């Protein structure tokens, strides 16, 4: 079963199922963070040696990706430039 999403382009940005693209990206980032944590914890618990190191690094990479998505989706408040 495939997950289908409708995307509507508007002058203010893209909207997916009622969420703005930035909100969806931030939500995805927050969902990816625990996935990376799970990879790291599982690798430490179940593996030893080189595979453990590889999976820990992969998990840390997934966490970095999630954090980057959250930071990138966070709008920056800018004051008046007068």
Domains contained in the chain, number:
1
pLDDT class of 3 with cuts at 50, 70, 90: very low
CB 67 within 8 A of CB 35: no
Evaluate whether residue 42 is within a structural domain. Answer: yes
DSSP 8-state secondary structure symbol assigned to residue 75? P
pLDDT digit string (tens) for 17-30?
Answer: 555 666 777 788 88
pLDDT digit string (tens) for 9-60?
Answer: 555 555 555 556 667 777 888 888 888 888 889 989 998 999 999 999 999 9
Evaluate whether residue 7 is within a structural domain. Answer: no
Nearest residue to 59 (alpha-carbon basis) of 31, 32, 40, 33 = 40
Domain that holds residue 65: 20-73
Evaluate whether residue 81 is within a structural domain. Answer: no
Evaluate whether residue 63 is within a structural domain. Answer: yes
Evaluate whether residue 14 is within a structural domain. Answer: no
Evaluate whether residue 44 is within a structural domain. Answer: yes
């Amino acid at each position: 079963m495939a997950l289908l999403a409708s995307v509507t382009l508007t002058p203010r940005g893209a909207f997916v199922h009622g969420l703005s693209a930035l909100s969806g990206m931030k939500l995805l980032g927050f969902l990816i963070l625990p996935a990376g944590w799970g990879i790291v914890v599982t690798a430490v618990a179940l593996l030893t040696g080189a595979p453990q190191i590889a999976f820990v690094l992969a998990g840390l990479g997934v966490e970095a990706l999630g954090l980057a998505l959250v930071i990138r989706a966070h709008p920056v408040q800018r004051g008046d430039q007068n």
